[in-house]
Amino acid sequence: MWNSIVDFLASVIDIFYNWTGNFGVAVIIFTIIVKGLLLPLDIKSRKSTSKIQDLQPEIQRISDKYKNDPEKRSRKLQELYAQNNVSPMSGCLPMLITLPVIFILFAALRKIAAEHMYIYMEQLLIANDASMKDFLAQISASVASSDVIKTSFQDILPMLFNNSGNLPSSLAKLPEVISQESFDLLSAAIKSVTFEQAQAAAAASGYSFLWIKNIWVADSAMKSVLGTSVSFGSAMCNGWFILPVLSTATQYLQTFLMTRTNKKKSDSTKKQQDPTANSMNWMNKLLPLMSLYFCAVYNSAFAIYWTVSNIISITQNLVMNLIKKMKDKKSKEEVVNL
């Protein structure tokens, strides 16, 4: 089932790529659609959370009245929620759904990135020598049929590129499986690939996006377009850590806006009585740190998704708050006119 989900997500992104010619733009369109699908749930949750906040005075009264009788207090609160058709945990629902979506997309984009990086590196070798196509197919078949090496050739080729064509210790048995002569030929072919060729191939494949040379590699000043380590700020670097910073800043802003909104609604009551605010507080602190780590370490495609998703959420928050203010103002004017 997992492979089916990944294949489905990859096919959707490929559709948008075929339409736009750029994987960065394709990921942005994909993100907008995902957020659009989650929007009705988010709106419903915000309405429920707002109702909970409006009920805070009554919740406080019940809590004070039955503070020595927890069982009755709980029953009265449940009756209050049922009468007003709300759930105290409704505000957590979007997060309970959003987090699994984030982790699914994270894992899926890692797998999609691995597949594209293999295709990308394979095409680089074939561009320099057309005979490499059959040669790589033979090596892949030898590795697949081997009992000695459990790693697939799709993962081995990037490892060899990352090691500048030299044999890493984890693949010490590879020459035995494919023959020393074949390994030497493969190593020489990898070493012959230049940075200019790699950058041009990434751009031609639709992998470049704004300042990022290859979205399947982290937006890092210490990684090359091939995912290999380079000195900080090298001309060969894939990016400048812009996406990790943007993702963290927008995640913090999104959290700040949501926290500020809840604080304003709870000013007249004891905040500890707000079950939604308490249950979400730890997540609000954790998410910015998560975004910084994931977007700095893993591929830029995921960082693009996370950053754009945050920007959309911030926009939603501002628009919904504006609409609520306008409704509240209209309601007050109607009361005054009566």
The 10s digit of each residue's pLDDT in 158-193 is 999 988 889 888 899 999 999 999 999 999 999 999
| Neighbouring C-beta atoms of residue 265, cutoff 10 Å | 18
Which two three-digit tokens encode residue 83?
A: 């009468």
Q: Is 212 helix (H, G, I), strand (E, B) or coil?
A: strand
* Torsions phi, psi for 223 (to 5 deg): -125, 140
Structure confidence at residue 272 (pLDDT): 44
Confidence class of residue 295 from pLDDT cuts 50, 70 and 90? very high
Listed by start position, the domains of the chain span 129-193
| Neighbouring C-beta atoms of residue 183, cutoff 10 Å | 19
Q: What angle do the packed helices 23-54 and 2-20 form, to 10 degrees? A: 120
C-alpha–C-alpha distance, residues 316 and 329, integer Å = 20
Residues 189-243 pLDDT 10s:
999 999 999 999 999 999 999 999 999 999 999 999 999 888 887 888 999 999 9
Structure confidence at residue 63 (pLDDT): 82
Which two three-digit tokens encode residue 158?
A: 């990037």
- The DSSP call for residue 215 is T
H or E element: which one contains 204?
Answer: helix 195-204
| Neighbouring C-beta atoms of residue 157, cutoff 10 Å | 23
Number of C-alpha atoms within 13 angstroms, CB side, residue 273? 23
What's CA 163's distance to the chain center, in Å?
Answer: 28
SS3 content of the chain, % helix, strand, coil (to 5): 75, 0, 25
Residue of 115, 92, 94, 83 whose CA lies nearest to 13: 115
